[in-house]
Structure 1
C-alpha cells in the first residue's frame, strides 16, 4: 500500500459515491481510518457527523434540515412536494454543511472523507430534469478533490437491502413495486453516475470486498494527493475498472 505524500497542512475532500446499498458508507469509513493511520487529521462526513461537529444554533439548524430531508416514512410519496421544493431543501443542506463544516475543515488541513456528497441527489434530479438542472442546486458547493465511485450493479445491491424506501424504488419515476422497481430505478441512477464519472474523471471500481475497495481507494488517493489541492487527477490515472 502506498503512503500519503504532499503538504501536511493541506486539506482534502474525498467523496465515496454509489447507488443505494453499494457499500459506500463502509468503504468511506475504512478509507478515513486508513488516512488517519498515516497521521492525518480526518473527518468522516455523513449527515450525523455533520451535525455532531457543530453546536448551538448551527447544530440545531442542520438537525432540522436533516430531519426534513431524511426522516420520512418508507412509503412516503415525497414527489408530491415537487422538484423545486426538494432541490431547494437539499441544496440548502449541502450549502450549509459546506459553509460550516467542509470549508473551515479544509482550511484547518483536515482530510474530509464524505459518505457521498451531493452527487446522489444530482443524479436523481437529472433523471427528470436533465443533468444541468440536476447539478444546479449545488452551484457554489465545494467539489471533491477526489471522487471514488463504487460501480456495483443494482441486482447485487438489492440483495443487501432489507426495507426499500419509496425514494429508492423510484416513485419519482412512476415506478411501483419492490425489488424489481429498485433494480430498474437504481440502474437509471447508475447511468447518470457513469456520465458524471466520465466528465469529472472519477476513480471507478466495480464489486469488491469493503477492505479491498478501501485499499484501492487509498492507493489512488495517495497518488492523486501528491499533486496540489484542487488539481484533479488526469484522465489516464483517474479511471480504473475493477472486474
Structure 2
C-alpha cells in the first residue's frame, strides 16, 4: 500500500520551516517529516551532521574540490531519510513532508549533477498533494539577509548577489513545479504566515479526511 502524505514545497526562504513549526504546534496529532533539526529524532543525528558538513565544508568547494555529483550524493542521504520516514505511515493520520526530494532534485539539476542520479528518486512513493508556498525572489532575498544567509545551493556562481540569487530562485521554482506537474498542486500565494498556515492546514485536512 502506498503511504498517504502531502508535501510542503517551495523555493528557498519561502517560509516552509515557519509553517512546519506552526503545524507542529497547532496539529500535534499530525506527523511532520523534515531534515530540519527541530524534526529529527536523536537517533537521526547523522542527518544533521551531514547537512552541517555539506554547508560548511563541501559547498564552498563546489566546482573546485567537489563535483556536482559528489554534492548530489551527499544530498541523497537526506532524500533517502525522508523516504524512510514514510515506511510506517498509516492511511488516516495526516502526514506532511518538507520538500521531499523535489527541491533537492531541482537544485542538483541546476548545479549540473548527472541526470541518471535522479531515476531512483523518481520511483519513490508519491504524495496525494503538493502545497507550494510561493514567494517573490525579491522577498526571498530580503529574508536571506540580502545573501548573508545564502549558501552555494541558493545562487548561481561562486559569489552571491541579488541577480545571482534571483535567477537561481526563478529557475528553481520552474524546475520544482515541472517535477510535480503529474501531481495535484496547490500554489499558496505570498502573504502573511497565519494565512499560509491556515491554507495548508485546510488543504491537508481535506486531502486526508
1:153 and 2:136 correspond: yes
1:65 and 2:57 correspond: no
1:187 is displaced (CA, Å) by 0.8
Match of 1:166 in 2: 152
* Aligned residue among 37, 48, 56 for 1:48: 37
Q: Distance in 1 between matches of 2:190 and 2:81?
A: 33
1:108 is displaced (CA, Å) by 9.4
Q: Distance in 1 between matches of 2:70 and 2:25?
A: 36
Match of 1:92 in 2: 77
* Aligned residue among 196, 199, 211 for 2:194: 211
1:12-34 deviation per Cα after TM superposition (whole angstroms, max 9, x unaligned): 43322111111111122223433
1:77 and 2:69 correspond: no
Number of paired residues?
204
* Aligned residue among 13, 27, 32 for 1:21: 13
Q: Distance in 2 between matches of 1:131 and 1:95?
A: 18
Instruction: Give unmatched runs, 5+ long, in structure 2.
Output: none
Q: Distance in 1 between matches of 2:42 and 2:91?
A: 15
Q: Distance in 2 between matches of 1:76 and 1:137?
A: 27
Match of 2:168 in 1: 185
* C-alpha spacing 1:137/1:89, structure 2 compared with 1 (3 Å): farther
1:148 is displaced (CA, Å) by 0.9
Match of 1:237 in 2: none
Bigger radius of gyration: 1
Q: Any idea what SS the aligned residue of 1:157 has?
A: helix
CA contact (8 A) 1:32 1:44 kept: no
CA contact (8 A) 1:20 1:157 kept: yes
Q: Root-mean-square deviation (CA), in Å?
A: 3.1
1:86 is displaced (CA, Å) by 1.9
1:17-69 deviation per Cα after TM superposition (whole angstroms, max 9, x unaligned): 11111111112222343333xxx243353331454x243xxx35434433333
1:199 is displaced (CA, Å) by 2.7
CA contact (8 A) 2:68 2:113 kept: no
Instruction: Give unmatched runs, 5+ long, in structure 1.
Output: 1-10, 227-243
